[in-house]
Amino acid sequence: MKPVLVVVGPTGSGKTRLGIELARALHGEIVSADSMQFYRGMEIGTAAPTPEEQAEAVHHFVSFLDPDRDMAAGEFQRLARVCIADMQQRGKTAVVVGGSGLYLRALMDGLFEGPPRNETIRTRLRQEAQEHGNAVLMERLRGIDPDYAATLTSENDQVRLVRALEVYEVTGSTLSALHRRHQESLEAMPVLQVGIRMDRSVLYQRIDRRVGLMLEAGWIAESQRLLENGYGPHLDRLKALGYRELAAHLRGEQDLATATAAAKQHHRRYAKRQMTWFRADPRIQWVDWDPKEGTDTLTDKALAHWSAYSAQGKR
């Protein structure tokens, strides 16, 4: 595959505008890797690119799923790679934009999800853990798949512990071995990751301001439509974005000021988790940006990284 430019950063950092400017400068199209922007009817609360922004650059994977549809990271990996290959065949530069770390990692590095769940085996393993403790399952996993066991920070991570043992019983192969085979079968994707970094207090101010603008743009009415269309139970997965609080407000369980404050807080916490994830990836080329400098400065800095990366690849 040809080189792919990936723009990462926390919510509210300016990824959407930077992605558009880069796509325009590089004759490219945008692949959204924001798992919260996949869903149609939730454009305001997820800060999805507006129709006007999408008219400036072609966007893929924005508002293309109903809210009750799950998009696993592995499925996104497959679809996005097909999309990128197609645009590269058409002579376009792929600009991936997103803040969903797991989905970005799946796209770039591959992600093996394993066979379908076996509820019989899973239930038995959970019962065993309940009766004898997670330590028994952990000891068994260490004997079967020490490489994967070493990735578990605690034996209390029962979900991953049970899944690893379940996969071994179903396939006869360890999860780490299956993951290695999957990665070997994947075509290498040359990637330059550019990350937006700014002072935390400035970022939080931008987040609070954006939540206010989303409310002015009709976020409450959007939430009401989702509830009326029967999507209430599916809003919890987007609780970091404040939908759950707005739904509670619409049900009369809390006032708007309380719901708004909670929505802002959840956005800020989500941004903090995103930055923790991204800081762990040494491949990211960070661009320090003060919004007072203007978007042109941010774009120029990102393009400088891309030019250096491209030049290195031609040597």
Same domain, 281 and 304: yes
pTM of the model: 0.82
CB distance 190 to 2 below 8 Å: yes
Residues 177, 197 within the same domain: no
C-alpha to C-alpha distance for 275 and 196, rounded to whole angstroms = 10
Mean pLDDT of the chain: 91
Q: What is d(CA 16, CA 21) in angstroms, rounded to the nearest whole number?
A: 9
Look at 67 and 8; give whichever has higher pLDDT.
8
**Are residues 228 and 288 located together in one domain of the fold?**
yes
Q: Give the tens place of pLDDT for each residue, 100-115.
A: 998 999 899 887 767 8
pLDDT-derived band at 290, boundaries 50, 70, 90? very high
Q: Which residue has the tokens 């330590």?
A: 135
What pLDDT shows up at residue 160? Answer: 84
Instruction: Say how many domains are in the chain.
Output: 2
How many angstroms separate the Cα of 18 from the Cα of each of 144, 149, 181?
Answer: 46, 40, 36
Res. 291 pLDDT band, cuts 50 70 90: very high
**Average of pLDDT values for 286-292?**
97
* pLDDT value, residue 238: 60
Q: Is the pLDDT of residue 89 over 90?
A: yes
- Asked if residue 207 and residue 159 are part of one domain, the reply reads no
The residue out of 142, 159, 185 marking a domain boundary is: 185
- Which helix (H) or strand (E) element contains residue 167? helix 158-171
Residue after which a domain boundary falls, among 139, 168, 185: 185
Dihedral angle computed from the Cα positions of residues 248, 251, 255 and 257, in that order, rounded to the nearest 10 degrees: 50
Domain boundary among 185, 202, 217: 185
Q: Are residues 245 and 203 in the same domain?
A: yes
Judgement on whether residues 199 and 295 belong to the same structural domain of the protein: yes
Q: Give residue 17's pLDDT.
A: 98
DSSP string, 148-163: HHTT-S-TT-HHHHHH
pLDDT value of residue 314? 60
Angle made by CA atoms 175, 177, 181, in degrees to the nearest 5 = 115
For the domain that residue 281 is a member of, what is the CATH number?
A: 3.40.50.300
pLDDT at 240: 56
Confidence of residue 155 (pLDDT cuts 50, 70, 90): confident
- In this structure, the answer to whether residues 73 and 134 fall within a common structural domain is no
Helices 158-171, 119-132: inter-axial angle, 10-degree rounding: 130
Q: Mark whether 176 and 43 lie in a shared domain.
A: no
171-to-95, 191, 197 alpha-carbon distances in Å: 37, 33, 43
Task: Calculate the CA 80 to chain-centre distance.
Answer: 13
Tell me: do 82 and 219 sit in the same domain: yes
Q: Pick the more confident residue, 185 or 266.
A: 266
pLDDT value at position 59? 98
- Shared-domain flag, residues 197 and 297: yes
Looking at residue 39, what DSSP letter applies? B
**Domain shared by 176 and 266, yes or no:** no
Tens-digit pLDDT profile for residues 159-180: 889 999 999 999 999 988 887 8
Structural domain of 201: 4-110+189-314
Do 177 and 205 belong together in one domain? Answer: no
By CB atoms closer than 10 A (0-12, 13-18, 19+), residue 124 is middle
CATH number at residue 148: 1.10.20.140
Distance (Å, rounded) from C-alpha 72 to C-alpha 237?
13
Please give the pLDDT value at position 236.
59
Residue 119 CB burial class (10 angstroms; 0-12, 13-18, ≥19): exposed
- How far, CA to CA in Å, does 86 sit from each of 91, 140, 312? 9, 45, 25
Residues 191-250: pLDDT tens digits? Answer: 999 999 999 999 999 999 999 999 999 999 999 999 999 888 776 556 557 898 999 999
pLDDT given at position 118: 92
The answer to which of 5-19, 61-75, 120-134 has the lowest mean pLDDT is: 61-75
